[in-house]
Structure 1
């Protein structure tokens, strides 16, 4: 019987944990995502929130598989109406409205950042961690902007749903990379 290779980087070692521990990690992650969604700067038609920061952190800390599962669980909570999205929103209407493309991109962001973190784009290489998070943010803007363009037209979608969020994506990616380095220092001190 062959064993599956474990990821090169998995700070929480979720792949080694019990199902109950994994379920707790998913629950904790969905709570973190819901809290990050409440940190927002209102804009029309899409607010600026800390959601993408939290999604990138979940991917980087949980890994590709558990990160994506966590984001999907959070989106599932939103679909059934729990107030976990920006501004305490929830319900299926958000998946068909202006934010639908961004919401669809979220699990893929976690997957992307987690997959790259497992391959060394993590705290030990902060510039690569920043690059992975920035790429995930840009992917989200591209998918979200494309969806928004189908609703309000390309020019308006770029002006209202992409351009205002680029600087925020850069800043949140830098914060995410710095947070990974800081968390690793904390874990290293704790284990020594």
Structure 2
């Protein structure tokens, strides 16, 4: 069996979103945008790009919501930001973050959320810790590649790497490990609930 084929057995869906109504899914989208806004405020200020918990929240939403609903949720959050709501790191909002140094990272967010969600729907999460870690790390690395690429266009490749990629690599590994551990615990909890 290919690593990209759907796993045998029940699909990872601890929130049971597959069986929810459209209205309930809309509530989850709004809740997801709130989680993303809160995660954005957990930040270590750096120039030109701060370290935040955004990518952790984005990949978790991807794994928990699935690729479609995660993509919608992340896009809704970005629309809130473009509309001027203070939902990005440091309470930023408006158009400026989408044309400045953080633009590449922001553009990558729906892509990485959908990627992790797509992999999760194929068994790359929950009980399979190695695949879960790999899925989250792939999302984080893709975010750094897109964000760092945009930053390189603005300030040059060397500075883009030094300021926009290298400082975030360790965090990408740590956030990916944390996400895999949390999802493993969620899977185990869900299995115990189903057995009782």
Whether 1:15 and 2:15 are equivalent positions in the alignment is no
Question: Aligned-pair distance for 1:132?
Answer: 0.5
Q: Which residue of 2 aligns with 1:104?
A: 107
Range with greater deviation from structure 2 (30-39 or 10-19): 10-19
Q: Secondary structure at the match of 1:75?
A: helix
Aligned counterpart, 1:121? 124
CA contact (8 A) 2:66 2:118 kept: yes
2-side partners of 1:52 and 1:39: how far apart? 11
- Structure 2 residue runs without a partner (length 5+): 1-5
Query: How many positions carry a matched residue from both structures?
Result: 187
Equivalent residues in 2 for 1:146-157, closer than 5 Å: 146-157=149-160
Once the two structures are TM-superposed, the CA of residue 16 in structure 1 deviates from its matched residue by 1.9
2:87 aligned residue (69, 84, 87):
84
Q: Deviations over 1:132-174 (max 9, x none)?
A: 0001100000000010011111100000000000000000000
- How far does residue 125 in structure 1 lie from its aligned partner after superposition? 0.5
Q: Secondary structure at the match of 1:122?
A: coil
Query: For residue 191 of structure 2, what is the aligned residue in structure 1?
Result: 188
Matches within 5 A, 1:131-150: 131-150=134-153
CA distance in 2, matches of 1:103, 1:93: 12
| Alpha-carbon distance, 1:14 to partner | 1.7
The correspondence of residues 58-69 of structure 1 with structure 2, limited to 5 A, is 58-69=61-72
Shift of 1:184: 2.1
CA distance in 2: counterparts of 1:57 and 1:98, whole angstroms? 24
Q: CA deviation at 1:17?
A: 1.1
Residue 187 of structure 1: how far off its partner (Å): 2.8
SS at match of 1:187: helix
Distance of 1:174 and 1:115 partners within structure 2? 19
Instruction: Please tell me the root mean square deviation across aligned C-alpha atoms, in Å.
Output: 1.4
User: Which residue number corresponds to residue 3 of structure 2?
Assistant: none
Partner Cα separation in structure 2 for residue 70 and residue 182 of structure 1: 24
Structure 2 matches for 1:168-183, cutoff 5 A?
Answer: 168-183=171-186
Whether the 8 Å CA contact 2:12–2:187 is kept in 1: the answer is: no
TM-score of the pair, normalised by structure 2 = 0.92
Q: Residue 14 of structure 2 contacts residue 186 of structure 2 at CA under 8 Å; is this kept in 1?
A: no
